[in-house]
Amino acid sequence: MQECRFILLGATGDLALRKIFPALYRASLSGLKPNITACARSPLSTPEFLDKLSTKAKEYIKDLDPKAWADFAANISYTPLDFNKPEDFKALKSTHPNTIIYFSIAPAFFAKACQKLAAVGLNAPNIKIVLEKPLGTNLQSCKDICAQIGKHFKEEQIYRIDHYLGKQSVQNLFYLRHNNPFLAGLLSAHYLDHVQISVLETLGVESRGGFYDPMGALRDMLQNHMLAMLALSTIPANTPTEHTRQAKLEMLRSLKPLNQESLKSQVVRGQYMAGGGFKGYTEEEQVNPHSQTETFVALKLELEHQNWQGVPFYLRTGKRMGASLVQVVFVFKGPPQALVYTIQPQCSLELQLQGMGALKSTLDSGMDAYERLILEVVAGNQSPFNHQDELEAAWRFVDPILQSWQENLTPLLPYAAGSFGPKAAFDLLKQDNREWFVHV
């Protein structure tokens, strides 16, 4: 049984109730014994909070075991916490050798929370903090947030979580090549024509309009999740597991910057219109009716790295698509043939060879991403988490795209809800005599 002290800021929020507490419960079934202090502004007693939490647990946790839940909940206490009241933080003081503070709060409050925690000694070397994205909206804001946090916590104490990186199916992008010399040899510039990465959702923004409208698809999905997937797909296959962080950083730093011409010819942005019984984006709840926010992005990029010279990468992500799909497709040179790695809806590996049909294997997706990442924090393993330098490298590539959109160098193209994006996204590949793969 492994013990830890777990302080959760923002404990009454949707993310905490829907993802973090269920993950902690599942981890407790695997042997973790967390002593949890739940904190939020709501003036609740511990019994009142536990009533609320138990109701949500029945909704979000499949096969909930009442006795196991009771044992888990017995180690949860609730403390009202106002960031403007320094005295509230004194109640959190901990001497546990393994203390984790999870920031399930808006990044705008990160700096203030760190300052208040440090004031009561909750930044000692044994304390780890877990930060949810987004960390900034561009390179400078990312640097500013990290600098504020860095005043109180060292880099080795900081775990910047990306639940996509926590998925075993995503981590397998590296392990498949790392553990299979045959694949490692094939998935290289010598044999590959190009690589495609798609993250498509049939859902619209639903009730997240207030969050999504200032962000858009480029910031919400491509800058973090998709560039991380690209890095895991391209780091050298012989990289030791403990060096994956540095290897990912090397790949992100090798992204070829987009100049003014390539920003026009290699980037597509779109916004879904009404169709198929669905509202258009600007009709969604909490969305500006005149919004110019993109709900779809497609782009072509290259890596200035010796292992990937001459191999273009095509990335696309969008909402209200014709299918829900997360997929990496390695397309080989010569006749149409590819290795298709599907992460969602079902994790699978499919080798398509001309004249032989397809060889497909379904893979185990592994444990829940949040459960896995929490256990990695407890163990002190930072490899599945983002280093500050990784975030900055990704923003450095994305910033010129954002700037070009502010200058209207790339038009915002409409596409029908339920389609696969604007025509320009297909032309992006067609002009190179290629086409998008869709294997659901």
Which DSSP string do the residues of 61-121 spell out, in sequence order? -TT--HHHHHHHHTTEEEEE--TT-HHHHHTT----SSEEEEE-S-GGGHHHHHHHHHHTT
Q: Please give the radius of gyration of the chain, using alpha carbons only, rounded to the nearest integer.
A: 22
E runs forming strands in 290-430: 296-301, 313-318, 325-332, 338-344, 348-353, 357-362, 412-416
Distance CA 217, CA 286 (A): 16
Per-position DSSP letters for 237-262, written without gaps between them: TT--GGGHHHHHHHHHHTBPPP-HHH
According to DSSP, the residues that pair with 159 across neighbouring strands are 130
Query: Residue 33 annotated as binding?
Result: no
Nearest to 362 by CA among 383, 343, 337, 381: 343
Q: Is 275 exposed, middle or buried (0-12, 13-18, 19+ CB in 10 A)?
A: middle
* CA neighbor of 125 nearest in space, from 95, 104, 89: 95
The catalytic position among 178, 194, 225, 305 is: 225
Residue 319 marked in a binding site: yes
For 356, the token pair is: 């032989």
Is 385 annotated for ligand binding? no
Q: Is 41 annotated as a binding residue?
A: yes
Alpha-carbon separation of residue 141 from 39, 106, 138, 146, 147 (angstroms): 27, 14, 6, 9, 10
Residue 49 DSSP SS3: helix
82 marked as binding residue: yes
Is 243 catalytic? The answer is no
Beta strands 127-131 and 158-160 are parallel
Q: Does residue 116 have a known ligand-binding role?
A: no
Alpha-carbon distance of 98 to 379, in angstroms, equals: 9
- Annotated binding residue 300: no
Binding-site residues for substrate sit at 163, 167, 201, 220, 319
Q: Which residues are annotated as a binding site for NADP(+)?
A: 41, 82-83, 133
Catalytic residues: 225
Binding residues are: 41, 82-83, 133, 163, 167, 201, 220, 319
